[in-house]
Structures are given as C-alpha cells and as structure tokens.
Amino acid sequence: MAAVLELDGVVKRFGTKTAIDAVSFGIPAGQMVGVIGPSGAGKSTLLRLVNRLVEPSEGAIRFDGLEVTRLEGRGLRAWRARCAMIFQQFNLVGRIDVLTNVLIGTLARLGTVPAIFKAFPAADRARALDLLERLDLIESVLQRAETLSGGQQQRVAIARALMQNPELILADEPIASLDPRNSEAVMSILQTINRERGITVLCNLHDLDIARRYCDRIIGIAKGRVVFDGPPEALTAAAEREVYGDEPTRADAPTFLRRPHLAAAG
C-alpha cells in the first residue's frame, strides 16, 4: 500500500535548539500509528508540523502527493480540514453548548457566520446529533462544554473532529489528562474510527501498554530523531531503552479493563 502521509528529511529548529532532526517516514492509508518518546522528545512538534501549526525549517511533508509544506491561504485551510487535530486539553469553547462545539467542525466548509448565529444546516445538525448519540453524549447536547468531565470533553472533541470529514486524525496526547478508565474509552473510540472508517490516525502517547494494545505501528522519538519504527511486538526492552533511556515508560496507576465497544461511525 502506497504511503499517504510522507515526511522527508523534516527538520524544525527553535533558535539554536533542534526539536525535530531529519525525520523521514511514510504512513499508509488506514494505519493507526502511536508516537512514543520522553517529554521534550519532539512528539507534539511533529504533529504540529504535519498540521502546519508549526513551520518546518527544512524538508517536505506530503499527503497523497500534495506538498503540504508549500500550502498557503485557502489551500492551507483546506488541508487543516482534511487533517483534524485532537488536543490534550480538548480545545473546546467552554461557555457554549456541546452541540455547537461539535458543529464548529464544519467551519472550514461553512465559514464563521453559522457559528456566530448558530445557523447551521439541518443536515449538519442531524449528523452532529448522531455522532453525539453514538459517543454516549446525547443527554449533554445543551450543556456548556465546561460542565462536562474530562473524558466527556474529549469525546466532544472527537465528534467535532469527525464533523470535518477528515482523512487523517492527529491526536496530541489525547489521554494525558484522563483517568485510566476514560483513557481506555477514548483509545477504543479512536481505534473504532480507524478500523470502521479507514481514517489514518497518528497519536502521541506516553503509556506503552496503551500504544501496544491500540496501535498497528509504533514510532519512537528521542531527541527529535526516530530511533524506533515497527510493529508493537518489535518494541523490546532494548528498544524501549533506546527511546526512553532511564525514564519510566508507563503510568503509575493500574490499567482498567477496556470498556465495551463504543462505535464512532456516523
């Protein structure tokens, strides 16, 4: 299968510090990839480079042959619609209701006027409600987002991302702020989206047990460089040390059993 997302010699410098150092890899369509590494390794910078929230210093990023690193203006906005981002801190508008937060995912297509007047098309509203029902949030549609638990807010953020009809989801530490049970739920949802919709997922993670269970492939980054790239079963103790050195690789809290299947297809 041809690689859909390609990074070719990508470098990012912040002054004299090199955060990403000559990174090259390809990700085929429909793969779920976990990016692991110690704090400060460059994981978040890597995802922001793909989304063009951060500009590369050198190298090229391509998606299905599209030169992402050359995009500007409308082309860049269109790319960010195809490439949905899920953040550790959810990035919801806390003072507005859950349904409107989800519908914000249509703004790349509709513009900002519908959000200002809450005048979204009926078809989009129906689709948003369907997603919220599938994510077990239908009873919260009119609540302010800030009143929800962390796990609920992350599910709202996932629904908002799906409203973009993305071909690629970038999840930047999506479970770092969650307890173990909610972490399992969110990862189960992302895996379901990946498998049922065929959406490529690139997800930064700290917990290796989670990465092994939910990802098809793991990329390990240390000091801005790729030091491991392979299937979960190839991540041996020696490979872990290559990535982490002496830093702990798992959360201290025990892992809860995986919650029942949470469908995310709409």
Residue 165 class from Cβ within 10 Å (0-12 exposed, 13-18 middle, 19+ buried)?
middle
Is residue 260 in some structural domain? Answer: no
Q: Is residue 255 part of a domain?
A: no
**Domain contains 259:** no
Residue 234 is assigned to a structural domain of this protein: yes
- For residue range 46-74, list pLDDT tens digits in order: 999 999 999 999 999 999 989 999 999 99
Residue 256 in any domain: the answer is no
Q: Is the pLDDT of residue 170 over 70?
A: yes
Tell me how long the chain is: 266
Is there a domain that residue 97 lies in? yes
- Tell me what pLDDT residue 142 has: 96
Residues 83, 233: Cα–Cα separation, whole Å:
28
Task: Tell me whether residue 266 is in a domain.
Answer: no
Taking the C-alpha atoms of residue 162 and residue 192, their distance in angstroms, rounded to an integer, is 12
CA distance 138 to 142: 9
Q: Is the pLDDT of residue 251 over 50?
A: no
* Whole-number CA gyration radius for the chain: 18
pLDDT digits over 73-103, tens only?
Answer: 999 999 999 999 999 999 999 999 999 999 9
- Any domain includes 261: no
Whether the predicted pLDDT of 194 surpasses 50: yes
Domain interval for residue 129: 3-244
Q: Beta strands of the chain (E only): which ranges?
A: 3-14, 17-28, 32-36, 58-63, 66-67, 83-87, 168-172, 200-204, 217-222, 225-230
CATH of residue 190: 3.40.50.300
Q: Let me know: does 149 contact 178? Beta carbons within 8 Å.
A: no
Total number of domains constituting the chain: 1
Residue 258: name the closest of 206, 204, 200, 191 by CA.
Answer: 191
Name which of 16-20, 31-35, 192-196, 254-258 the model is least confident about.
254-258
The closest alpha carbon to 201, from 121, 87, 75, 85, belongs to 85
* Residue 218 contacts residue 175 (beta carbons within 8 Å): no
